[in-house]
Amino acid sequence: TQQPVNVTVTGAAGQIGYALLFRIAAGHLLGPDVPVRLRLLEVPQAVKAAQGVALELDDSAFPLLAGIDIHDDATAAFDGANVALLVGARPRTAGMERGDLLSANGGIFGPQGAAINAGAADDIRVLVVGNPANTNAYIAAAAAPDVPKDRFTAMTRLDHNRALAQLSARTGAPVTEIERVTIWGNHSATQYPDLSHATIGGRPALEVVGDDAWVRDTFIPTVAKRGAAIIEARGASSAASAANAALDHVHTWVNGTPDGDWTSAGVVSDGSYGVPEGLISSFPVTVSGGVLTIVPGLEIDEFSRGRIDASVAELVEERDAVRALGLV
């Protein structure tokens, strides 16, 4: 029988944690045959709540769940980790300046990156969910010089899934027929959900939709601002859909993308598509043999160019700010 895979989840007592942990234990992260050991990391004042979640995980009698450890110390939590889901972050509160937000998160993701560097397993794969996800991933990667940079990723899979759902609702095509949708740039309102390479049942999506104004004025802002719409409706930020996207992201990273299709993920730029090397930006990505590859050679039209550049400019500003603050 297979050795359990160590999955470290930070922010385990939070909303996303509650939606995520049960599904990991049910086999939705790595597959129905892979036992997992959960390592939960929380701040000291939330350890008790995490213990409560662990009681419920116990009560679910998941056949694949090989054990649960709870930590308030990053070094212990990441020791031997194969998969790290960095969910816990410092949220932006009313009146908070960007510098304060980045500093507070630098104080979380820097030490967590260092702990991953010190003790994670050689095959470590890191997904940053906590916002600002791209820049938090950048900070964590910078603090882990011995870990290959391509093991640090930021989540834009929720945006990708939102784009699939919006396009499916508009055209009536099932999501399974939609391929090659891309989210570019930052996981923020500047992101660019791009349909210019997408296909529906093999036909160009833009042709099937036949309404460029809808794409520009409805589709793009609906996807980019969906997080705010969820908060407005639910009174709390998206949690189950975010957890679902985190599972999708890691599942794809381990198991690969289908032939002819790709996914979206925040990955370290190699300079492709004019995105400065080293930034963690969302790209169209294929996966084979557990390795993420930015889809090469796509034609970028003028509209797309402007949208990608605008979101990447925001990432450059965030990177420059964390440099100026001495966080990397």
SS3 80: coil
When the beta carbons of 43 and 96 are compared against ligand NAI, the nearer one is 43
**By Cβ distance, which residue is nearest to ligand NAI?**
14
Q: Which of 7, 9, 11, 249 binds ligand NAI (CB under 6 A)?
A: 11
DSSP 74-106: HHHHHTT-SEEEE-------TT--HHHHHHHHH
- The CB-of-170 to ligand NAI minimum distance in angstroms stands at 22
- Single-letter code of the amino acid located at 201: G
Give the integer Cα–Cα distance in Å for 184 and 194.
Answer: 7
| Binding residues for ligand NAI, total number by CB under 6 A | 27
Residue selected from 25, 81, 133, 327 as contacting ligand NAI according to rule CB under 6 A: 133
For residue 179, state whether it binds ligand NAI (rule: CB under 6 A).
no
The one segment of 35-43, 59-67, 113-121, 299-307 that binds ligand NAI by CB under 6 A: 35-43
CA angle, 251 as apex, 249 and 256 as ends, to 5°?
95
Cβ atoms of 251 and 263 closer than 8 Å: no
| Contact status: 140 vs ligand NAI (CB under 6 A) | no
Among 5, 7, 8, 10, binds ligand NAI (CB under 6 A): 10
User: Is 224 an interacting residue with respect to ligand NAI (CB under 6 A)?
Assistant: no
The DSSP letter of residue 185 is B
Q: To which residue do tokens 């010190």 refer?
A: 118
Distance between CA atoms of residues 201 and 187, nearest Å: 28
**Separation CA 22–CA 41 (nearest Å):** 16
In the bound complex, what is the minimum distance in angstroms from residue 16's beta carbon to ligand NAI? 3
Q: Are 157 and 123 in contact (CB under 8 A)?
A: no
Query: Smallest distance from the beta carbon of 172 to ligand NAI, in angstroms?
Result: 26
**Residue 71 is a catalytic residue:** no
Cβ contact 301:261 at 8 Å: no
x/- map, 15-34, ligand NAI, by CB under 6 A: xxx-----------------
Q: Is 26 annotated as a binding residue?
A: no
Which 236-255 positions form the footprint of ligand NAI (CB under 6 A)? 237-239, 242
Q: How far apart are CA 59 and CA 69, in angstroms?
A: 16
**Backbone Cα Rg of the chain:** 19
Tokens standing for residue 9: 């989840």
CB of 181 to ligand NAI, least distance (A): 15
Is 124 among the residues that bind ligand NAI (CB under 6 A)?
Answer: no
* Min dist. Cβ of residue 229 to ligand NAI (A): 13
Cβ atoms of residues 131 and 89 within 8 Å: yes
Whether 90 and 14 have beta carbons less than 8 Å apart is answered as no
Of 187, 197, 249, 251, which residue is the catalytic one?
187
Q: Quote the CA–CA distance of 167 and 172 in Å, as a whole number.
A: 8
For residue 136, the minimal CB distance to ligand NAI (Å) is 8
Question: Which window, 87-95, 172-180, 280-288, 306-314, contacts ligand NAI (CB under 6 A)?
Answer: 87-95
Contact by Cβ (8 Å): 117, 81: no
* Active site (catalytic) residues: 187
In the complex, the residues that contact ligand NAI under the rule CB under 6 A are: 10-11, 13-17, 41-43, 46, 87-89, 91, 108, 129-131, 133, 155, 158, 187, 237-239, 242
Q: Which residue ranges are tagged as binding site for NAD(+)?
A: 11-17, 105, 112, 129-131
